[in-house]
Amino acid sequence: MSVATASPLVERDFAVPDIRCAGCISKLEQGLVRDRRIASARVNFTEKRVHIACTPDAETPDLVGAFALLGFEAHPIGDAPGEGDPEAASSRELLRAVAVAGFAMMNVMLLSVSVWSGAEGATRDLFHWLSAAIALPTVAYSGRPFFRSAWRALRHGGTNMDVPISIGVVITSALSVYETATHGQHAYFDGVVMLLFFLLCGRWLDSVMRDRARGGVTALLRNMGTGATVLRGEDSGHWVDATALQPGMVMLVAAGERLAADGVIVAGSTQIDLSLLTGESAPQAVHVDDHVHAGTLNLGAPIRVRITAAGADTAIADIARLMGEAAQGKSRYVRIADRAARFYAPAVHTLALLAFTGWMIAGAGWHHSLLIAVAVLIITCPCALGLAVPAAQIVAAGALMRVGVLIKDGSALERMAEVDRALIDKTGTLTLGRPVATDLDAVDPAHRPLLLALAQASRHPLSEALTRGLSALGVVPEAVQTIRETPGFGIEADWHGHKVTLGRPQSPAAGTALATELAIDGDPLATIRFADQLRPDARAAIDALAAEGIDATILSGDRAEAVAPVARELGITAQTGMTPQDKLAAIARHAGAGHRVLMIGDGLNDGPALAAGYASMAPGSASDAGKNAADCIFLGDRLMPVVQTVRMARRTRRIVKQNFALAIGYNIIAVPLAIFGHVTPLIAAIAMSGSSLIVVGNALRLKAAIR
């Protein structure tokens, strides 16, 4: 049923702890949109959240009811960072259940060993009753996660992977009690508690893995200051919690304090540790009018900051959201797993019924036929298939996050694995995008205070570079009056009756280099040249890409004279003077020749090319348009994260294929054995749980792929 679109849609997030597999994802995404008020629903498997777009008249209880109709318990999540973490509570509950099941399993196994050793008659019955006394309460407690999930699904006319598990556990327990009460030879309490123990181990490991994947987001948000001292006047101030900070407030940030909001410095200068946001370990000097961000650490002196963004609007919250969205994209492999899981429940129920019917027809009796049907139910659990793709992608995204790479889409890793050509923008991508004065040492020390006095009055990038360079040399600015800035020309001021200027060089000696000139009454005193430095590992990264079979080319809108030195130093070809349309045409030519292009760029003019590339990456310093269009974002000044991402993507592809092979191979071998009666419920429990653990363990090998 389609939703009316006359009114603007509102977006809401819900925590859904019971999302277990690809089948749950499919059921939620396809089932929720049948409600006329819900336009779209998207599951974040990593965080076990569902993001929905709905009409404004949809009340929260109604939306929670829509989840309940599908058999899922949902909790609304607010906008405050870090609000709501039902998965953490779920992990603790699972751990308690694992402990209980493990303790019970050890004790029941000890009793079973006595039975297997030849105990007969009353002694065997006694051991069976003791096993029942341990196993039945354990089933009631440790089996709750499966029973709750199965009951919710059945109550609303659906099914999920917990239904056959619950049926198998209940039937096996009931059969064991019957055997014990009738002095039978075999009881299966050991198999029941072992099944629960291994199933719970798999779910707990899966939950812990997701907790760790979310750990980067949580750690990032925890680095935000908890509040700030907001000034009421010149001297008085009061503490305001971070959730109550508002744009326009002026906060006092003491040395050693983390910023609680984004803002602009209005008084003071200091050094800021930006390592949280950029990965750059060297502190950065900041002055009046510089932008500073929440989560960064003030290392130097107290500063006053006018807040421009707080709470969910800060840059760090944006990054956290970006990280949270990383697992939402559906890759080709996930879609394959989705389709397979969709047919799982009907297929496994049919197989179990056919096995029971077939063995009854063959004359095996209801007891033996029922045992075989139970073994089929248990052994066909598709946990391994459901974990094959998300487990690998979650671990890979977490590992890349630790080296400063944010993956925006799960399918991005698949596309990154297939690229064979890199087209790279120059300014801000191969270079740092920050001009640096190269010959300040040649400037007469007597002229430096005057130079700083003019430079610090302008926000022009060259003036800012001069201010940084001269401040680092400990220069104190000269006192000047009547400062004026003329766009396109520069700064001028009055100094002891003379007109001093800082602007475009008039001397031809400056050539075509990026430069500015200090003059008094029109007489040039000093010419300062600037250079945009290459990223420190640019050459190593280009060589590493070539080693991976990826040839690189520069696509730049700059003049050939500016691009040629960079191309020579990196040993690659370049195309210069390119417009956004030219870059799109270049990508189309490469694609037409059968190449899969990795576009790397940062500027507003790179946005269309980033969107057109087969895969794309942008530095964290890129424009908003560039970051929105790119598949991945790398932080810091190094270019090597691009190579690390490609290598990780290729490794992830291999792991996913291995996981599929493991999951499919397990079913090919195990299901026929169960149908033909060669597997007991105990063996089925071990085999099914082992396959999930193997898939998760195989995915965890990706953690060591990046050092």
Identify how many contiguous H helices and E strands the chain contains and give both numbers: 23, 26
- The secondary element (H helix, E strand) that includes residue 90 is helix 86-116
pLDDT at 519 over 50: yes
pLDDT at 83 over 60: no
Domains along the chain with CATH numbers = 10-76 (3.30.70.100), 88-223 (no CATH), 227-313 (2.70.150.10), 408-432+535-648 (3.40.50.1000), 433-533 (3.40.1110.10)
Q: What is the pLDDT of residue 383?
A: 63
Q: What is the pLDDT of residue 322?
A: 55
**Taking Cα atoms as reference points, which of 115, 155, 153 lies closest to residue 28?**
153
Q: What is the pLDDT of residue 642?
A: 92
Q: What secondary structure, in 3-state letters, does 95-129 show? A: HHHHHHHHHHHHHHHHHHHHHHCCCCHHHHHHHHH
Q: What percent of the chain has pLDDT over 90?
A: 8
Q: What is the pLDDT of residue 100?
A: 92
Q: What is the pLDDT of residue 82?
A: 44
The letter for the amino acid at 289 is: D
What number is the average pLDDT over the span 280-303?
75
Q: What secondary structure, in 3-state letters, does 314-353 show? A: CHHHHHHHHHHHHHCCCCHHHHHHHHHHHCHHHHHHHHHH
CA 325 – CA 407 distance, rounded (Å): 8
E strands, 208-347, are: 227-231, 237-241, 250-253, 261-267, 270-273, 284-286, 291-292, 297-298, 303-310
E strands, 327-398, are: none
**Phi/psi at 590 (nearest 5 deg)?**
-65, -40
pLDDT at 594 over 80: yes
Give the count of alpha carbons within 13 A of 332, CB side only: 8
Confidence bin at 646 (pLDDT 50/70/90): very high
CA 560 – CA 104 distance, rounded (Å): 75
What number is the average pLDDT over the span 390-418?
80
What number is the average pLDDT over the span 377-399?
73
Q: What is the pLDDT of residue 86?
A: 55
pLDDT at 461 over 80: no
Average pLDDT, the chain: 78
CA 383 – CA 340 distance, rounded (Å): 12
425 is catalytic: yes
pLDDT of 94-125, one tens digit each? 889 989 988 998 888 888 877 777 777 788 88
**DSSP 8-class letter at 233:** S
> Strands 421-424, 551-555: parallel, antiparallel or unpaired by DSSP?
parallel
Q: What is the pLDDT of residue 543?
A: 93
What number is the average pLDDT over the span 140-158?
83
pLDDT at 706 over 90: no
Lowest-confidence segment of 32-41, 207-216, 517-526, 535-544 by average pLDDT:
207-216
E strands, 498-643, are: 498-503, 515-520, 523-534, 551-555, 573-575, 597-600, 615-619, 632-634
CA 293 – CA 318 distance, rounded (Å): 12
Q: What is the CA radius of gyration of the chain?
A: 32
Q: What percent of the chain has pLDDT over 70?
A: 80
**DSSP 8-class letter at 403:** T
CA distance to 150, 322, 350, 384, 681, per residue, from 664 (Å): 25, 33, 19, 9, 20
**Phi/psi at 338 (nearest 5 deg)?**
-55, -50
Q: In what order do the strands lie in the sheet containing 49-54?
A: 38-44, 49-54, 10-15, 75-77
What number is the average pLDDT over the span 578-582?
79
Highest mean pLDDT: which range of 200-204, 474-478, 529-533, 593-597? 593-597
Lowest-confidence segment of 211-225, 338-352, 471-485 by average pLDDT:
211-225
Q: What is the pLDDT of residue 340?
A: 61
Q: What is the pLDDT of residue 481?
A: 84
Q: What is the pLDDT of residue 541?
A: 92
Lowest-confidence segment of 488-502, 551-565, 622-636 by average pLDDT:
622-636
Q: Which of 13, 162, 425, 631 is catalytic?
A: 425
Q: Compare 58 and 423 and report the one with higher pLDDT.
A: 423
Q: Compare 249 and 378 and report the one with higher pLDDT.
A: 249
CA 103 – CA 318 distance, rounded (Å): 45
Q: What is the pLDDT of residue 663?
A: 78
CA 641 – CA 520 distance, rounded (Å): 47
CA 383 – CA 160 distance, rounded (Å): 11
CA 419 – CA 416 distance, rounded (Å): 6
CA 101 – CA 95 distance, rounded (Å): 10
pLDDT at 542 over 90: yes
Q: In what order do the strands lie in the sheet containing 297-298?
A: 284-286, 270-273, 297-298
Q: Which two tokens stand for residue 643?
A: 């190579």
Confidence bin at 3 (pLDDT 50/70/90): very low
- Cβ pair 18, 336 in contact under 8 A: no
Confidence bin at 225 (pLDDT 50/70/90): low
Confidence bin at 344 (pLDDT 50/70/90): low
Confidence bin at 141 (pLDDT 50/70/90): very high
pLDDT of 229-240, one tens digit each? 888 766 667 778
- Cβ pair 533, 436 in contact under 8 A: yes
pLDDT of 296-334, one tens digit each? 777 777 888 888 888 777 777 766 665 555 444 445 555
What number is the average pLDDT over the span 404-425?
84
pLDDT at 558 over 60: yes
pLDDT at 173 over 70: yes
pLDDT of 227-271, one tens digit each? 788 887 666 677 787 777 888 888 888 776 788 888 888 888 887
